Structures are given as C-alpha cells and as structure tokens.
C-alpha cells in the first residue's frame, strides 16, 4: 500500500478540533499562534464521531490537510479521522492530541480513565441541569493549578453556547469511543501532549501510550491543567512546531 509523504514541515495545513462543551473560540488563540508560525489552520467544532455519515464527511475534509490536531474529545475525533483517511485514501496524516485520553471512560483494557460511575453521575447531572453542569465542567477544565480561579474567568469569557443535541452526542462519544487500538496500529507519526495537573485526564496516560509500541508515537508531559491549549498557548505551539520541524 502506498502512502502520501509530506514534502516539508513548513507551512503545514492543520485541521484543529476543539473539545467538548465550549465551542471553537477556546482554541482561537492557539490557531492564531500556529498561523503566526507560518502554518495554515482551520478550526472546527466537535462532531458526532459515532455517526458514520458525519465521520465520512469530516474524513473527506481531513484528507486535504497535513496535520490533524485535537483537544480532549477532539483528540479522539482526530484519531478517528487519521484512521479513516488512511483506510479510505491511503494517506497518512500527522496526528497530534492535546490533553486527550484515547478512552475517556475506564474499562478493563484501559483503566487509566474516569470511572464509569463518575461519568454516569456527570451525565445524569447534565440531563437534570445542563447549564450548571457545564459550569462545573468548565471549572474541572481549569482545576489543578495555582491559577485555577483566573483561568476559569478566562474560560468563561471564551465559551460559546452549544446546542443540546451536539453536547449529548459529545457525551455519547466520550462514553463509548475507544481509540487505543487505532493508536497502537497507526504507522503514521503521532504526538500526544498531556498535562501534569490535569483533573480530567491523568498524566499517567503518558505511560500507557508509551507501552502501546506504535512505530512513530511520541508522548510528552507539560505543566498545566486540562485547559493546557487554552492557557499555555505559546508552550503548546512551540512543542507542536518543534515536532513538525523534526518531520522536515
């Protein structure tokens, strides 16, 4: 099987996928920082990765990019896209995930994740009071660092209203998506940036990823909360650009 190989790491076409609950505005600073470094970036919201038609539409879009980056749930969706593009178009894209767990809810083969009981409680809370639950989730995104309160205020100023349908679909994805096998078998380049103080995705996921044995898998631990790409824009941008330069 023949794969398309990138000619240069300069001016890469990047598809950037945001996380659950907040909209694309949260990652606009990261998008702008990557553009300032000479890359072209298209920023999109989450989508229903469990829906075959939606996944296919986004795979058609993703094939025109060199790098697929996703934050949190967006990282799982990015993983689905690089797999779909490889299977359908015989192209390998560079995959980069930010504060993302390939399996958000724990199961026997991937225990380093949120317990099913806690997730079900969160899901039930969302059904009963979506607005209050989103606020609580926003705080968890910022939790773990000395700047949690300031970060939460910044996060609140960037949040965009999301449709309930999209949010429910996203929760469904978080509950059921398991992209571990894709990462394990992917022969393209992949980088996973995790945050040491992340309240939602344990930094121990780093060790799990490294044991997968994928050919071109790199994983790195940075200082910060789950909101790493929101609150540490320049550090994340530098790590992404350094990685892409290695591809040149």
DSSP symbol at 145: S
Under DSSP, is residue 135 helix (H, G, I), strand (E, B) or coil? helix
| Angstrom distance (rounded) from CA 228 to CA 74 | 14
Return the pLDDT at 248: 66
Burial 211-245 (b: 16+ CB within 10 A, else e): ebebeebbbebbebbbbbbbbbbeebbebbbebbe
| Angstrom distance (rounded) from CA 31 to CA 104 | 25
Environment class of residue 18 by beta-carbon count within 10 Å: exposed (0-12), middle (13-18) or buried (19+)?
A: buried
Return the pLDDT at 9: 55
pLDDT in tens, 84-95: 999 999 999 999
DSSP symbol at 40: E
Domain at 13-246: CATH architecture:
3-Layer(aba) Sandwich (3.40)
Return the pLDDT at 6: 41
Under DSSP, is residue 147 helix (H, G, I), strand (E, B) or coil? coil
> In 91-161, where do the E strands start and end?
94-98
Find how far residue 178's CA is from the centre of its chain.
Answer: 13
Per the CB < 8 A criterion, the answer to whether 12 and 140 are in contact is no
The CA distances from residue 24 to 30, 74, 161, in Å, are 11, 11, 10
* Cα dihedral sign, 175-178-179-184: positive
Regions of the chain where pLDDT drops below 70: 1-10, 248
Return the pLDDT at 222: 98
pLDDT in tens, 164-208: 999 999 999 999 999 999 999 999 999 999 999 999 999 999 999
Return the pLDDT at 247: 79
Return the pLDDT at 246: 87
pTM summary value:
0.95
Return the pLDDT at 143: 97
Return the pLDDT at 7: 39
């Amino acid at each position: 099987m023949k794969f398309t190989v990138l000619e240069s790491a300069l001016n890469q076409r990047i598809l950037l996928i945001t996380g659950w609950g907040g909209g694309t505005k949260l990652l606009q600073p990261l998008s702008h920082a990557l553009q300032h470094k000479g890359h072209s970036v298209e920023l999109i919201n989450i989508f229903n990765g469990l829906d075959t038609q939606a996944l296919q539409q986004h795979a058609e879009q993703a094939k025109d990019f060199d790098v697929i980056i996703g934050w949190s749930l967006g990282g799982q969706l990015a993983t689905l896209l690089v797999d779909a593009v490889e299977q359908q178009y015989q192209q390998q894209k560079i995959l980069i995930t930010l504060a993302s767990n390939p399996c958000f809810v724990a199961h026997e083969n991937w225990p380093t994740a949120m317990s099913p009981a806690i997730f079900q409680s969160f899901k039930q809370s969302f059904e009963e009071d979506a607005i209050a639950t989103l606020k609580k989730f926003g705080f968890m995104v910022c939790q773990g660092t000395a700047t949690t309160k300031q970060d939460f205020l910044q996060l609140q100023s960037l949040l965009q209203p999301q449709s309930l349908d999209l949010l429910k679909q996203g929760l469904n994805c978080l509950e059921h998506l398991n992209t571990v096998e894709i990462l394990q078998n992917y022969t393209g380049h992949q980088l996973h940036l995790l945050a040491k103080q992340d309240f939602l995705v344990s930094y121990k996921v780093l060790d799990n990823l490294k044991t997968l044995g994928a050919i071109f898998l790199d994983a790195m631990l940075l200082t910060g909360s789950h909101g790493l790409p929101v609150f540490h824009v320049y550090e994340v941008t530098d790590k992404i650009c350094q990685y892409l330069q290695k591809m040149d």
